Amino acid sequence: MWRSLASNMLTFLLVGLFLVAGVVLWGQSQYRSAGPLESAICLRVESGSNMTRVSNDLVDQGAVTNARIFRIGADYQDKAGDLKAGSFLVREGATMEQIVDQITKGGASTCGTEIVYRIGVTRNQMEVRELDPESLQFVELAEFDPDADDAPEVYGEKRDQSDTRYRIAMAEGVTTWQVADALKAWDVLSGDAGELPGEGMLAPDSYEVRPGTEVSTVLADMQDKQELRINAVWESRQDGLPLNSPEEMLTLASIIEKETGLSEERGQVASVFVNRLNQGMKLQTDPTVIYGITKGQRVLGRGLRRSELRRVTPWNTYLIDGLPPTPIANPGLASLEAAVAPEETNFVFFVADGTGGHAFAETLQEHNRNVAKWREIEAERANSGN
């Protein structure tokens, strides 16, 4: 009898162990298998939340099938206490294990709201946008001029959310003063600019920042990136250029940046100035005259007067020989590269052609014809009111 009872107990125990093992294996399979999500979602984890709330939210959004298995898996991986606040892009078919990794590893949010401060040559712009998880495209919620317009209500709402991301988008061709002035005016940043980097020493690019970041820290990051670009581009320069230093390259690149906004023209514009330098001709470029007037601290907003073309400043390339003493703006990487690798041409003149580009010429006679065409276009636009 006792032998039979012991045998039955052993059988029950083995069956129980097999059942437990089966449940564990099933749970592991559920935890690591592709999830039921058919299209991506943006999972928002509030500050102070916990795995129970998050797992229930995931079930409600159709991202996981079992909240308990999700929590057990997080506990088993010893990640339940590592939950981070933020907005996380959960892709279609994401496993529970992948989602746990996303919401516990930290770092910047991968979806949700982003506020972008665009620092431009003629005006600044604030944009509030949100990532659509299905299309992975940003949807604009608001756009306004921070220097002229009252901030819309949605800006204040998103500013109060802990998971909102902030980005500075610095355009090519802005001056150092413009950048510093814009950064000091943004309520997301703090502190003063300190001693400004030299003209041209800020890299036009996109920079993610956190609330409370010092203005001087942002400027230092921009300067560090520009120094890396300058050093790398200078090392790649062509032989025989009329440039004696990285500083001269930077100055030439800033002139190229201000003379054309078309990427396909940079090499040709660079060739004009390189040819002029090689031939001992004055550069005669309007943006340098403008910089001599404004020192980069305002937008001229009108055409140059004859008296200004004759005004003596260190930057007036109608009067001085060679390059001006400093850059006149912050050039982007493409203009830096054009300065050290200009196209091989015989062009020494160019003028606007009415299409947003320029007409290039090798001789003064050809250039004068191009100028006459441009004057006709200007007259027609004036008469039509455009």
Question: CA 362 to CA 264: how far, in whole Å?
Answer: 19
Q: Which residues pair with 124 in a beta bridge?
A: 119
> pLDDT-derived band of residue 2, with 50, 70 and 90 as boundaries?
very low
Which of 63-72, 116-125, 205-214, 356-365 bottoms out in mean pLDDT, i.e. has the lowest? 63-72
> pLDDT-derived band of residue 28, with 50, 70 and 90 as boundaries?
low
Q: What is the predicted pLDDT for the residue at 107?
A: 65
Give the best-scoring range by mean pLDDT among 32-41, 109-118, 253-262, 370-379. 253-262
pLDDT in tens, 124-171: 999 999 888 877 788 899 999 998 888 999 999 888 887 888 999 999
> pLDDT-derived band of residue 38, with 50, 70 and 90 as boundaries?
confident
Q: Which residue has the higher pLDDT, 52 or 326?
A: 326
Position 244 pLDDT exceeds 80: yes
Which of 24-28, 75-79, 286-290 bottoms out in mean pLDDT, i.e. has the lowest? 24-28
Give the best-scoring range by mean pLDDT among 43-47, 135-139, 347-351. 347-351
- The three state secondary structure string of the chain is CHHHHHHHHHHHHHHHHHHHHHHHHHHHHHHHCCCCCCCCEEEEECCCCCHHHHHHHHHHCCCCCCHHHHHHHHHHCCCHHHCCCEEEEECCCCCHHHHHHHHHCCCCCCCCEEEEEEECCCCEEEEEEEEECCCCEEEEEEEECCCCCCCCHHHHHHHCCCCCEEEEEECCCCCHHHHHHHHHHCCCCECCCCCCCCCCCCCCCEEEECCCCEHHHHHHHHHHHHHHHHHHHHHCCCCCCCCCCHHHHHHHHHHHHHHCCCHHHHHHHHHHHHHHHHHCCCCCCHHHHHHHHHCCCCCCCCCCCHHHHCCCCCCCCCCCCCCCCCCCCCCCHHHHHHHHCCCCCCCCEEEECCCCCEEEECCHHHHHHHHHHHHHHHHHHHHHCC
Q: What is the predicted pLDDT for the residue at 238?
A: 94
Residue type, 116: V
> pLDDT-derived band of residue 4, with 50, 70 and 90 as boundaries?
low
Which of 199-203, 225-229, 307-311 bottoms out in mean pLDDT, i.e. has the lowest? 307-311
How many CB atoms lie under 10 A from the CB of residue 385?
A: 5
Question: CA 203 to CA 219: how far, in whole Å?
Answer: 9
Task: Judge contact between 102 and 90, C-beta under 8 A.
Answer: yes
The mean pLDDT value of the chain amounts to 87
Task: Judge contact between 232 and 200, C-beta under 8 A.
Answer: no
> pLDDT-derived band of residue 290, with 50, 70 and 90 as boundaries?
very high
> pLDDT-derived band of residue 26, with 50, 70 and 90 as boundaries?
low
How is the chain split into domains, by residue range? 32-109, 113-230, 239-384
Q: What is the predicted pLDDT for the residue at 41?
A: 80
Burial class (CB in 10 A: 0-12, 13-18, 19+), 304: middle
Please state the separation of Cα 293 from the chain's center in Å: 30
Residue type, 350: F
pLDDT in tens, 211-234: 999 999 999 999 999 999 999 999
> pLDDT-derived band of residue 5, with 50, 70 and 90 as boundaries?
very low
> pLDDT-derived band of residue 3, with 50, 70 and 90 as boundaries?
low
Q: What is the predicted pLDDT for the residue at 241?
A: 96
Position 245 pLDDT exceeds 80: yes
Position 188 pLDDT exceeds 80: yes
CATH T-level topology, domain 32-109 = Dna Ligase; domain 1 (3.30.1490)
> pLDDT-derived band of residue 259, with 50, 70 and 90 as boundaries?
very high
Maximum distance among all alpha carbons in the chain? 121
Residue carrying structure tokens 């892709």: 91
Q: What is the predicted pLDDT for the residue at 14?
A: 47
Q: What percent of the chain has pLDDT over 90?
A: 54
> pLDDT-derived band of residue 365, with 50, 70 and 90 as boundaries?
very high
Q: What is the predicted pLDDT for the residue at 9?
A: 55
Radius of gyration of the chain (CA): 31
Question: CA 85 to CA 108: how far, in whole Å?
Answer: 10
How many CB atoms lie under 10 A from the CB of residue 249?
A: 23
Q: What is the predicted pLDDT for the residue at 386?
A: 56
Q: How far from 30 is each of 37, 56, 62, 96, 102, CA to CA, in Å?
A: 14, 16, 14, 8, 18
Q: What is the predicted pLDDT for the residue at 129?
A: 92
Which of 40-44, 187-191, 342-346 bottoms out in mean pLDDT, i.e. has the lowest? 40-44
Position 46 pLDDT exceeds 60: yes
Closest CA to 114 of 98, 126, 102, 101: 126
Task: Judge contact between 188 and 211, C-beta under 8 A.
Answer: yes
Question: CA 197 to CA 107: how far, in whole Å?
Answer: 30
